[in-house]
A = this chain, B = another copy of it.
Amino acid sequence: MTDRRSSRADNRTKTIMRAALDLALEVGYAKLSIEAVATRAGVGKHTVYRRWPSRGLLFLDAVLSLSTEGLNHPHTGDVVADLRETMAKAVDLLGQPPWGPLYQALIGEAQHDPEVAAALNRRFIEPQTADTLARLKTAKEQGELAPDFDLDLAFDMLSGPLYYRLLITQQPITHDYIDRVLHAAFAGMSPRPHAR
């Protein structure tokens, strides 16, 4: 009996999140309201508020419930190839509905709501950063990175340009762009002394 009741509650939670995503794609997140989500999901407004204190936190849960598989790095022994593969998967996700526009709207909301920003970091950004860091540590041990490279900065250096395109210039992020970023990050801007 308890099981049946909790599975009904789970289904209702999923229905509400699905309604939030559908509406955000149809009318844009800016016009999304808890009322409209409740109506679309066929529940009362208070049923939504019992689960989520704000529109932003509902939207966060809904977006993060979508699959983002494949964002963990392979460990093939070639760090540039492994980074490229994971960045390409991220870019493929970002480049198309539903994930792309929904994730962009979520980051927009994070600029106005510190709770959304904190939860987004804890639940999505930090695990990705940790996975990248683990891949780069192995690369450093294997001599594929400069011994003094600032590992804690690597995720910012590699992801920063992608987020910059997504959020600021809003130009398309292509696989070619990833190749250019990887090349620039690995080669550096300084002139290189001639190799012996």
**Pick the contact of A146 from B113, B143, B149, B191 — CB < 8 Å?**
B191
Query: Are A145 and B190 in contact, CB atoms less than 8 angstroms apart?
Result: yes
Query: Are B191 and A190 in contact, CB atoms less than 8 angstroms apart?
Result: no
The reply to whether the CB of A1 lies closer than 8 angstroms to some CB of chain B is no
Chain B residues whose C-beta falls within 8 Å of the C-beta of A149 in the assembled complex: 184, 187, 189
The reply to whether the CB of A121 lies closer than 8 angstroms to some CB of chain B is yes
Closest partner residue, chain B, to A146 (CB atom): B191
The reply to whether the CB of A160 lies closer than 8 angstroms to some CB of chain B is yes
Query: Are B169 and A163 in contact, CB atoms less than 8 angstroms apart?
Result: no
The reply to whether the CB of A185 lies closer than 8 angstroms to some CB of chain B is yes
Beta-carbon contacts under 8 Å, A170-196 to B: 170, 180-181, 183-196
Chain B residues whose C-beta falls within 8 Å of the C-beta of A148 in the assembled complex: 187
Beta-carbon contacts under 8 Å, A89-119 to B: 104-105, 107-114, 117
Query: Are B190 and A121 in contact, CB atoms less than 8 angstroms apart?
Result: no
Query: Are A150 and B186 in contact, CB atoms less than 8 angstroms apart?
Result: no
Task: Fill in one digit per residue for A12-35: 1 if any B CB lies within 8 Å of its CB, else 0.
Answer: 000000000000000011100000
**Pick the contact of A170 from B117, B143, B153 — CB < 8 Å?**
B117
**Pick the contact of A160 from B110, B163, B187, B195 — CB < 8 Å?**
B163
Closest partner residue, chain B, to A170 (CB atom): B117
The reply to whether the CB of A58 lies closer than 8 angstroms to some CB of chain B is no
Chain B residues whose C-beta falls within 8 Å of the C-beta of A195 in the assembled complex: 193
The reply to whether the CB of A162 lies closer than 8 angstroms to some CB of chain B is yes
A150 vs B107: C-alpha distance when bound (angstroms): 29
> Could you jot down 22 A-B contacts, CB within 8 Å?
A108-B112, A110-B167, A110-B168, A114-B170, A120-B168, A144-B191, A145-B191, A148-B187, A150-B183, A153-B181, A153-B184, A156-B161, A156-B165, A159-B160, A160-B163, A163-B164, A167-B167, A185-B185, A186-B189, A192-B192, A192-B193, A194-B196
